[in-house]
Amino acid sequence: MVSGGKDKNTPAFVSLAAGGIAGGVEGFISYPLEFAKTRVQLREKKGVLTPRNPFVVVQQVYQKEGIRAVYKGCGPLVIGSIGKDAVRFLFFDQIKEAFADPTTGTLSPVRNLLAGMTAGVAASVTAVTPSERIKTAMIDDARHEKRFRSGWHATSTIWKEQGIVGLYRGLAGSTLKQASATAFRMGTYNVLKDYQKRRDIKQSTAINFANGSVAGVVTTLTTQPFDVIKTRSQSALGMTTAESTKSILIDYGLRGFWKGTTMRLGRTVFSGGILFTSYEAAVKLIMPLYGGHGNFLY
């Protein structure tokens, strides 16, 4: 729904369904960039330069290992993205209602961030951490042992060897990343839309895509350290958040916490635009079937 008014809210079911569709579309289309970023963040040999261009990484893997290697871990990420964004949009909508000013129905920038942060924690616990763990473990495993045959095989193997703790490796880093990322992404998007509304700037697919891309840039630059720690924690063997943080400092120093920033920027700029435009398009399609006439979440 459009931020900044006392209009009727988008029904919870519509937010949930549209968020899931948007997450699945965004996850699949942008996966090669996510793959490249994850490869860069995983432990590399000292002294060996890592390409900054994500397309170079993808090309190198494709030439050596084929297209299946580039999409290794895509299934778990897409499934996780469907769950993550369904939960994230649903929770943000409901929390935003609770945080809104009772008179105007609007949120201050700080409350926007708090609503996003709470939605991010919910998404991390319910969907993101286990799906990211499987995706990262599969990408890491493909570089070395190559023992995971599929997402299901990776899940069952980790479950047998480490139990539920193994599937939730990196929970702290993942939750920190999701809480901050959702806060900045949704908060920035809403601030931009509120500003444009005050300036009577008509919303369109192009404007929505641009707003989502800007939100993606802000999100990446502010949350990259959490993403790097999470990736190291969720490697094939797995490690604690403390061990992951220590290994990054030993290998690369403080600069290591921003490893893969260029790669992630490439994805978040692209994915941010796709996510929000896909969400609004999905709401347009689902709302008539639902029988409602609400406004958009944003």
Kindly tell me if the per-residue pLDDT of 104 is higher than 90. no
**DSSP code string of 215-278:** HHHHHHHHHHHHHHHHHHHTSSS---HHHHHHHHHHHH-GGGGGTTHHHHHHHHHHHHHHHHHH
Domain 12-290 in CATH 2.40.110.10? The answer is: no
Task: Give residue limits of the domains in the chain.
Answer: 12-290
* pTM of the entire predicted model: 0.68
Mean pLDDT of the chain: 82
Give 257-280 pLDDT, tens digit per residue.
Answer: 988 787 788 778 888 899 988 988
Give 172-192 pLDDT, tens digit per residue.
Answer: 888 888 898 888 988 888 778
SS3 2: coil
Using CA atoms, how far residue 211 sits from 122, 153, 160, 277, in Å, is: 24, 39, 44, 10
Kindly tell me if the per-residue pLDDT of 49 is higher than 70. no
Q: Give pLDDT, residue 106.
A: 64
Interval 213-240 mean pLDDT = 86
Give 153-162 pLDDT, tens digit per residue.
Answer: 999 999 999 9
Percentage of the residues of the chain whose pLDDT score is greater than 90: 15
